[in-house]
Amino acid sequence: MADEQEITFDESAVAEPEIEADECSEQEPVKEPDESAAAEGDRVEAGCPIVGAGAPRCGRRLHNAPDGVDEFPVCLMHSKDRNKQSGPHFGEFWREFERILTDAAEGKAHFEYFVFPRFYFGTRIFKAICHFHFATFTQYSIFSEARFMQDADFSRATFMQGAIFSEARFMQGADFGNATFTQGADFGNATFTQGADFSEATFAQMARFSKTKFYGTAGWCVSNFLDRAEFRQTKFEPSIEGKPSAVFALAKFSKPGEIVFDDVDLSRALFHNCDVSQVSFTSSATWTKRDGNRGLAVFEERVLLEKKFAKVVQEYGPFDYRSVEQIYRQLKKNFDSRLDYWTANEFHLGEMEMKRLDVPTRGRFLWLRQTWHRKLSFVVLYRWASDYGNSYWKPLLLLLGIILFLFPALLPIPGIELKHQGTTQDSGTQIETETYLSVWNVQKTWGENLSAEASLVDNCAYNALDAATFQRSAKYPPAYPHKR
d(CA 195, CA 243): 11
Residue 110 Cα distances to 19, 55, 411, angstroms: 21, 7, 87
When mean pLDDT is compared across 68-77, 151-160, 404-413, the lowest value belongs to 404-413
pLDDT for 88 beyond 80: yes
* Contact of 267 with 288, CB cutoff 8 Å: yes
Q: What is the pLDDT of residue 31?
A: 35
**Span of 36-45, 320-329, 425-434 with lowest mean pLDDT:** 36-45
Task: Residue 172: name the closest of 200, 198, 153 by CA.
Answer: 153
* pLDDT at site 475: 61
What confidence tier does 77 reach under pLDDT thresholds 50, 70, 90?
very high
Cα atoms found within 13 Å of the Cα of residue 99, Cβ hemisphere only: 7
Report, as an integer, the average pLDDT of 294-305: 88
pLDDT band at 444 (very low <50, low <70, confident <90, very high): confident
Decide if 129 contacts 24 (C-beta within 8 A).
Answer: no
Average pLDDT, the chain: 83
Please give the pLDDT value at position 377.
Answer: 80
State the average pLDDT over residues 143-150.
97
207: which strand partners? 185, 229
Report the pLDDT value the prediction gives residue 162, as an integer from 0 to 100.
Answer: 94
pLDDT surpasses 80 at 21: no
Predicted pLDDT of residue 23:
40
pLDDT surpasses 90 at 99 = yes
Q: What is the mean pLDDT of residues 52-65?
A: 87
Cβ–Cβ under 8 Å, residues 153 and 133: yes
Q: How far apart are CA 236 and CA 218, in angstroms?
A: 8
**Residues 418/452, Cβ–Cβ less than 8 Å:** no
Higher-confidence position of 17 and 447: 447
Q: Decide: pTM greater than 0.75.
A: yes
Give first-to-last CA distance, the chain, whole Å: 72
